[in-house]
A and B are shown apart, each in its own frame.
Chain A
Amino acid sequence: MKNTLLIAIVFSFILAACTSAQPSTPPPAIDTGVQPGAWVIIPAGEFLMGQHDTEIMLDYDYQIMVTDVTNAEFAEYLNQALADGTLKINAGSDGSQQVVGYYPGDVFHAVKHEEEIAAGDWLHLTINEPALRLTYDGQSFMVKPGYENHPMVMVSWFGARGYCEYYGWGLPTEVEWEKAGRGSDGRPFPWGDTLDDTNANYYSSHDVLEKIVGGLGDTTPVGFYNGKTYDGFTTVDSRSPYGLYDMAGNVWQWLADIHEGTHYRHMAGGSKADYGYNLRIWTRNSAGPTYTSPNVGFRCVDR
């Protein structure tokens, strides 16, 4: 009996530990029917912000992307921006190739834990990162097959900001992002009051890619949770009241705000690697502006 238990434990451990860290095969190309690059207008007006429903007035209209920026969109931008000199490729201190771009710097307050963000070239992304869904042949960037309509990940705050500003847009502020994701009725999730596996891609949400890859799964294509059925997995149309997809789960989204006394940049929305409660619309994450992750992407606003 003792031996059986021991063997079972050891066997389970080995099985778990042998799971691949990265998908060994490309993900299936999934057509969600949702076109990246679409925009929606968020009208001026009051809405309830945060966990405790604070009334906030936004006195201007703005447009926001319906989906996260995809790998295909970002690859196209990289190729243009590298060609016209907006971005350049440098060698990192660890020998890696990095895409960098200019940032004018932040006001430094020397508060405890604050790091100075001075004017200069800052990291946008590191080439040849295994989790980057782009490849670079020395001339141009291309998207790894199957990831064309997945959200762009492994991009720093500088990289996300750089993309939006290149086209004359910007990253959303916390207020803009939350209003677009929540509407005006104080709901905790973009689609309503409760969360289940059919609404969003989060930790152990049993989506198609989680079944294929296992564990934390992978990003789902933008607009995946739109009411369609994929390989027997039925989703619920989980748009926000203004029609935005993926405002909860899949990838965290970089926000524009610079908070006095800290160099951290905030993110919102939760990701495929987080438990469901992190997908509540007011939940925030933060990291330094050079942080990149397979679980962080972005979308832009046009004010």
Chain B
Amino acid sequence: MQAIQQRFFYLFRSTKGLILVAIAMISLVTAVFGMLSGPMAEFGVRDVVVRLLHMQLIEAEREARIITLYHSIAMAVVSIEVYFITEFLKMKPRQHATINATITVGYLSVMIFGLLFGYFGHNWIFHGLFISGQVLVFFSGLMLAVALWPWKPEARTADKAYSHLGNTSNGKALSLERVAFFTMAVATLGSAIFGAIPGSYFGNGFEAFLAEDLIRVPEKTLLEDSIIGHLHIMLTLIAIALALLVGRWLDYKGMLHKLSMPLMIFGTIVVSLGAWSVVIFPWAHTIIYVGSVFVLLAALFLVIFGFSKLIRTRLAEQGIQKAGFWRGFKALLHDPLKFGMLWQMVFMNFTVSGIGIFMAVKLDEIFRVWPWREERIVLTGHWHILSGLIATIILFLYADYTGLKGRLRQWFGWLVILFSDLAFGSVTVFAIKRLFVSETDQQPLVNATMLLADIGLATVLVVLAVLMVWRLVDLFKRKGKWAKEFEETRLQ
């Protein structure tokens, strides 16, 4: 009994345990619900899964089901970020524990009852629990914003290496990194409300729709605009939170940090206001672009700092004072986890930001000449890739945070980097294939890109499954890795 209790405490009271549970839940959901579309549907696996699990999939409800699924995964991702924030940033132990407990109950309610409601018949109690789970996640966000309040004495900084305002010598300077986290948290809360209002309206009449299905509607309603703004800004803010966390984990400081944090704060405010203003201004995109530039610059400075630190650290370990390009390059690639966190941010520019900007610039000239379904593929590919890249960065952060070592670290890191980028790169080419081939001649390109994407994704999922099985087996050991991690938490 005590053994079970200890493991329960590890999984639900320690940060490492909580993150492991959330990753495992997302993996499980991905494994099961990923069988319902794409190649798995083509291979007939979808029908088997539907039959085996007694799913009830009504055609008219597909969009609503998918929205439930997105929210289930998104809440777990947000929870992981919150676990990291409460661990990495100073706050009262009571706040730390309360926020984590509330968000855990919240996301698990959303995930379990949302998916049961969406895919296994409509039990309205489950629907209520799905909604109340989201309320709990929101409430934990409110508590997080309070805990992150940057002007309280314990949040102030005395270290002048970090971006700050005021005098560090008396230890009372305002930490701009803390302000950036706080701004992100408040913007996320506002953006959640921005989606919750139209969500309640459409949910009430069960007229669910996917934003990508509205792209060519010339006049959208305010609530439709609001949904579009909501999904864009939520994903952006999840990415901003992750960039801040990676910075904290890598102990981001110095001149670039001092440049980054004001940019990140200003960018977060502008991009959020831009997304919210889609219901008011037809030119809201312009505000969003301006905000994005600041955020992207902040992230660029983080990457420059991170790459430079990786090289310096490795060369110092090797006792090398001065190194040429290749030695430096080798040093950069030495640690795939830390390199992966930063590299995926760079890769994001090729597959997400770059494509997005190109699409915006050439919308009427190129993309609106294509049929709607082709344009839709670019859009869905765009944000699926962004979500996927965010997921891989979280995995790198988690693996590094839990101290994955040796060959396992190398194999895990490089397999995820190479195969996820293979998949995301292939999907990008697939999505914009009309730039290179006509509809008549597209088959070879479609075959090749789909195959490479499937290989890439399957490999990443297998690697993730191996990690999860390893951690599951570890839980059965009396003195496994979990016990060590739990002991560290208790000591803290």
- Spell out A's residues near B (CB within 8 Å): 9, 12-13, 16-22, 51-53, 111-115, 129-131, 188-189, 193-196, 203-204, 214-216, 259-262, 264, 267, 273-278, 280, 284-288, 291, 293-295
Contacts and interface: CB of A to CB of B under 8 A. Distances in A.
Nearest to B43: A204
Interface stretch (B130-138, B367-375, B399-407, B482-490): B367-375
Given A17-B448, A188-B59, 7 more contacts: A16-B451, A21-B444, A215-B447, A264-B216, A275-B37, A280-B60, A286-B372
**Which of A52, A130, A260 is the most central at the interface, judged by chain B CB atoms within 10 Å of its CB?**
A52
A160 to B, nearest CB: 15
A16 B41 CA distance: 19
11 contacts: A9-B455, A16-B451, A17-B445, A18-B444, A19-B444, A112-B218, A129-B440, A131-B440, A204-B41, A277-B62, A287-B371
Contacts of B63: 51
A50 to B, nearest CB: 9
Contacts, number: 108
Interface magnitude class on chain B: 35 or more
A275 B372 contact: no
B372 A285 contact: yes
Contacts of A204: 41-42
Contacts of A115: 364
A98 to B, nearest CB: 16
A122 to B, nearest CB: 15
B154 interface: no
Contacts of B371: 267, 285-287, 291, 293
Given A51-B60, A113-B368, A280-B59, A21 B373 contact: no
A22 B363 contact: no
Which A-B residue pairs are the 3 nearest by beta carbons? A188-B59, A16-B447, A261-B218
Contacts of A51: 60, 63, 207
A273 B433 CA distance: 14
A262 B218 contact: yes
Contacts of B372: 264, 284-287
Contacts of B218: 111-114, 259-262
B281 interface: no
B308 interface: no
Interface of B: 37, 41-42, 47, 58-60, 62-63, 205-207, 216, 218-219, 282, 363-364, 368-373, 439-448, 450-452, 455
Contact of B443 (A19, A53, A194): A19
Interface of B is mostly: helix
B281 to A, nearest CB: 13
A17 B447 contact: yes
A188 B447 CA distance: 30
B452 A13 contact: yes
Contacts of A284: 372
Given A9-B455, A278-B373, A295 B439 contact: yes
B66 to A, nearest CB: 10
B59 A189 contact: yes
Nearest to A288: B369
B423 to A, nearest CB: 13
Given A188-B59, A193-B59, A20 B443 contact: yes
Contacts of A111: 218
B363 A16 contact: no
Given A13-B451, A287-B372, A288-B369, A21 B59 contact: no
A127 to B, nearest CB: 14
B441 A16 contact: no
A51 B58 CA distance: 11
Contacts of A288: 368-369
B160 to A, nearest CB: 49
Contacts of B452: 13
Given A20-B443, A264-B216, A13 B373 contact: no
Nearest to B449: A16
A52 B282 contact: no
Contacts of B368: 113, 288
A291 B438 CA distance: 12
B282 to A, nearest CB: 7
A114 to B, nearest CB: 7
B123 to A, nearest CB: 21
Contacts of B448: 13, 16-17
A294 B439 contact: yes
Contacts of A287: 369-372
Contacts of A276: 41
B444 A52 contact: no
Nearest to B207: A52
A13 B369 CA distance: 30
Contacts of B41: 204, 275-276
**Which of A51, A278, A284 is the most central at the interface, judged by chain B CB atoms within 10 Å of its CB?**
A51
Nearest to A291: B371
B206 A52 contact: yes
